[in-house]
Amino acid sequence: MVGSIDNYAVKMTKAGAKGRHYDFTNRRTVPPWHGIVRMTRAYQKKLQIKFGPVFEDRHVRFNAKNTCAKCGHIGHWLSDCAFPDDSGFLYGCPIHNSRSHSFDDCPDFHRLSESQVLWLLVVLRGNKAPIRTTVSWSEYLRIAIEEGKWTSYNVPLPLTSAFVLDLVLGPKARHSWLDFDYATHGNDWLPSDPATRGPHAEVVRNTALDKEVHVPLTRGSLKKGRVGAAVGSDAPSYADDGYAPQEDNNQEEDSRETPEAEAGGDVEMMNDPRVEGGNPFVPEVDKPDAFVHNMVTMGHADDASNDSRVQDMSEADICIF
């Protein structure tokens, strides 16, 4: 079944470290990424951005000033990150480049238009792990197609969590996210999932995709989703206890912070002009058509100011273990 993860704990136990290439100590600007940079939660919080920049074009999203709150590397944000969690999803807020709250619990969720939701959950996540949500991206897309509002039929669709999990637990050679170049590669460079490959209208008819959602651990009030009754007012939410569970065991704050973490780090090794200015020869495969292209319509242009840029990383914010 699409999205089912049978015997997950057993699979992870047997996999050992095979699918987990974490604890990389140097931030990089270009691939190979090698693994996820171990960060403290305090530093992750510094990486949060304001509402707006994630809806911009490649030259804003793939900039050398951006640092991803998921993988810790330079040149992109969580919204575009190709690294998955061990669950097969990607937990966090793509709006704010944050792992401190989920997409559904984002304080700016109510500001999103339907086209912005599709941009974040579908367009940017093509051939990547789906963002963890309480309403599947397939439901949002199905409604847009039925209402004749979807025009970005050229973009690849997100992977299923089961497909991602098979990659995570498989050999390192299949971990395409380790070699994905955000500045030059389009999402179609990544492997596609047979379950989400093909004409979009046909793919979303597979209602099994609607089960591609997370099951929160606590109960409380959750903002009603844009698909109406699909999300009830008594649905559980991660926001209740103020703690976002981390799937991949690489984000825990630790007191063993060391100033040697950046010594000889890859972050100062190169300043790739491809990341700073983009590559004019690469087609905008993840750029929406007119339907999604005119998304920032609520007067939030000021939010894409320099305040959205990340703060400098202190040496104590990268941990070596």
What are 244-257's pLDDT values in tens digits?
Answer: 333 443 333 332 33
The pLDDT of residue 214 is: 76
| Domain membership flag for residue 164 | yes
| Domain membership flag for residue 114 | yes
The pLDDT of residue 23 is: 55
Return the H-helix or E-strand segment holding 168. Answer: helix 161-168
| Domain membership flag for residue 3 | no
The pLDDT of residue 291 is: 38
Collect all residues with Cβ–Cβ distance below 8 Å to 190 and sequence separation of at least 6.
82, 126, 127, 128, 156, 176, 177, 180
Collect all residues with Cβ–Cβ distance below 8 Å to 46 and sequence separation of at least 6.
310, 311, 313, 317
What are 180-234's pLDDT values in tens digits?
Answer: 999 999 999 999 999 999 999 999 999 999 999 976 554 333 333 444 323 322 2
- Within a 13 Å sphere around the CA of 103, how many CA atoms are in the beta-carbon half? 25
The pLDDT of residue 158 is: 99
121-144: average pLDDT: 97
Q: Percentage of the chain surpassing pLDDT 70?
A: 59
42-66: average pLDDT: 96
82-93 burial, b at 16+ Cβ within 10 Å, e below that, comes to bbbbbbbbbbbb
The pLDDT of residue 117 is: 98
Tell me which of 284 and 200 has the higher pLDDT.
200
The pLDDT of residue 22 is: 57
pTM: 0.68
The pLDDT of residue 34 is: 87
| Domain membership flag for residue 189 | yes
pLDDT at 103 over 90: yes
| Domain membership flag for residue 144 | yes
pLDDT at 120 over 50: yes
pLDDT at 163 over 80: yes
| Domain membership flag for residue 2 | no
The pLDDT of residue 246 is: 39
Task: For 159, list phi and psi in degrees, rounded to 5.
Answer: -80, 160
Q: How confident is the model at residue 239 (pLDDT cuts 50, 70, 90)?
A: very low
pLDDT at 310 over 60: no
The pLDDT of residue 109 is: 97
**Cα gap 51→97, rounded to integer Å:** 10
pLDDT at 268 over 80: no
The pLDDT of residue 258 is: 30
The pLDDT of residue 24 is: 65
The pLDDT of residue 317 is: 43
Instruction: Determine contact, residues 31/178, Cβ cutoff 8 Å.
Output: yes
Tell me which of 15 and 46 has the higher pLDDT.
46
Q: Which domain holds residue 54?
A: 8-317
> Nearest-5° angle of CA 254, CA 89, CA 54?
85
What are 294-309's pLDDT values in tens digits?
Answer: 333 333 333 333 333 3
Q: How many CB atoms lie within 10 A of CB 108?
A: 14
Question: What's the domain count of the chain?
Answer: 1
Mean confidence (pLDDT) of the chain: 71
The pLDDT of residue 242 is: 29
Q: How confident is the model at residue 316 (pLDDT cuts 50, 70, 90)?
A: very low
